[in-house]
């Protein structure tokens, strides 16, 4: 197939190609969040449904982290691989993405997470049915709702729960900003997803005890809604003193704080101008320092 040849008329392939960059990015975020939920929540499912015989804290932490890594490899070159409304918010707020894309990204993330939860439910349908004699439970040793969404530890107050999600997501974004900062030490191009995977491993190993370290509104709310509809019932929302809104609001607040700390403590002091800045601003990132300029 030489250029100009074999492309007479509109082939099916040509008709399938998305011309709109935003459409590509939206479908990419959908697919990425879908992958993260199937493989990430799947790691939790394997540990719980095997009652710890074929999984545990290590396979869950590594599995969820690598699920994120793979989601970013699939989508990073197209949509940046946010797969998290809190990340998209920080990217917009600090001038890494235009605001008009925000609702499309977030919508795709919520839909992708819902589809992922449904797919995982299908793959483990027989396992879920046999686990508790056909019952889908939220609490107790036969509970399975926490395969899909996070629930707080018994000791946790709402204040501490909120602080926990804020601080965890603060660390997530602060370090994600560092990983992609080419004027800092610099992760080699193409290995950023693996650095982010290692970051998720350490946050899950250190700040995961309070409430499972969701750090992502789409990752938590969509699967929770799915479980409510699929048979666990709407107690998934009232459980843990109406905990459900904490991993939705907390990460959004934490992402902003984390990005702000990185920008204020490290990024704005870099002596050399950002080599990526001139070229990128003309198209997509014209207002990188919008926030600090506003201040």
List binders of its own copies among 219-258 (CB under 8 A): none
Q: Does 139 bind its own copies (CB under 8 A)?
A: no
Q: Closer to its own copies at the Cβ: 16 or 140?
A: 16
Where in 86-105 is the site for its own copies (CB under 8 A)?
none
Q: What DSSP string describes 155-212? A: T--HHHHHHHHHHHHHHHHHHHHHHT-TTSS-PPTT-HHHHHHHHHHHHHHHS-TTT-
Give me the least distance between CB of 55 and its own copies, in Å please: 6
Give me the least distance between CB of 22 and its own copies, in Å please: 12
Q: Which residue has the tokens 């001038």?
A: 95
Q: Which of 34, 38, 40 is nearest to 66 (CA)?
A: 40
Give me the least distance between CB of 237 and its own copies, in Å please: 22
Q: In whole angstroms, what is the distance from residue 55 CA to residue 14 CA?
A: 45
Other beta carbons within 10 angstroms of residue 15's beta carbon come to: 7
Give me the least distance between CB of 188 and its own copies, in Å please: 4
Other beta carbons within 10 angstroms of residue 23's beta carbon come to: 11
Q: Are 68 and 171 in contact (CB under 8 A)?
A: no
Q: Are 168 and 215 in contact (CB under 8 A)?
A: yes
Binding mask 23-52 for its own copies (x = CB under 8 A): -x--xx--x---x--xxxxxx-xx--xx--
Q: Does 275 bind its own copies (CB under 8 A)?
A: no
**Binding window for its own copies (CB under 8 A); candidates: 132-140, 173-181, 220-228, 230-238:** 173-181
SS3 content of the chain, % helix, strand, coil (to 5): 65, 0, 30
**Binding window for its own copies (CB under 8 A); candidates: 100-108, 163-171, 234-242, 246-254:** 163-171
Backbone phi, psi, residue 94, to 5°:
-100, 25
Q: Closer to its own copies at the Cβ: 21 or 234?
A: 21
Q: Does 107 bind its own copies (CB under 8 A)?
A: no
Q: Does 125 bind its own copies (CB under 8 A)?
A: yes
Q: Does 295 bind its own copies (CB under 8 A)?
A: yes
Q: Does 127 bind its own copies (CB under 8 A)?
A: yes
Give me the least distance between CB of 234 and its own copies, in Å please: 26
């Amino acid at each position: 197939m030489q250029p100009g040849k074999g492309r007479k008329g509109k082939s099916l392939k040509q008709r399938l190609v998305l011309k709109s960059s935003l459409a590509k990015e939206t479908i990419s975020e959908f697919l990425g969040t879908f992958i993260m939920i199937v493989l990430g929540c799947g790691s939790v499912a394997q540990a719980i449904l095997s009652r710890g015989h074929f999984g545990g804290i290590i396979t869950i932490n590594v599995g969820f982290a690598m699920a994120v890594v793979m989601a970013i490899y699939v989508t990073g070159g197209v949509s940046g691989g946010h797969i998290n409304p809190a990340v998209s918010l920080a990217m917009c707020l600090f001038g890494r993405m235009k605001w008009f894309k925000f609702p499309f990204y977030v919508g795709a993330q919520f839909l992708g997470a819902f589809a992922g939860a449904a797919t995982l439910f299908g793959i483990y349908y027989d396992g879920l049915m046999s686990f508790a004699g056909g019952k889908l439970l939220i609490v107790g040793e036969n509970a399975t709702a926490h395969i899909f969404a996070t629930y707080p530890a018994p000791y946790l107050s709402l204040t501490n729960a909120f602080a926990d999600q804020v601080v965890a997501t603060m660390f997530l974004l602060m370090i994600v900003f560092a990983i992609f900062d080419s004027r800092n030490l610099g992760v080699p191009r193409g290995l950023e997803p693996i650095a982010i995977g290692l970051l998720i491993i350490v946050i899950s190993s250190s700040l995961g005890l309070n409430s499972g370290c969701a750090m992502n509104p789409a990752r938590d709310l969509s699967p929770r809604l799915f479980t409510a509809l699929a048979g666990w019932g709407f107690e998934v929302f009232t459980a843990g003193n109406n905990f459900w809104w904490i991993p939705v609001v907390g990460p959004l607040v934490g992402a902003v704080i984390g990005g702000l700390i990185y920008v204020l403590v490290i990024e704005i002091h870099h002596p050399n101008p950002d080599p990526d800045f001139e070229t990128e601003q003309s198209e997509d990132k014209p207002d990188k320092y919008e926030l600090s300029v506003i201040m």
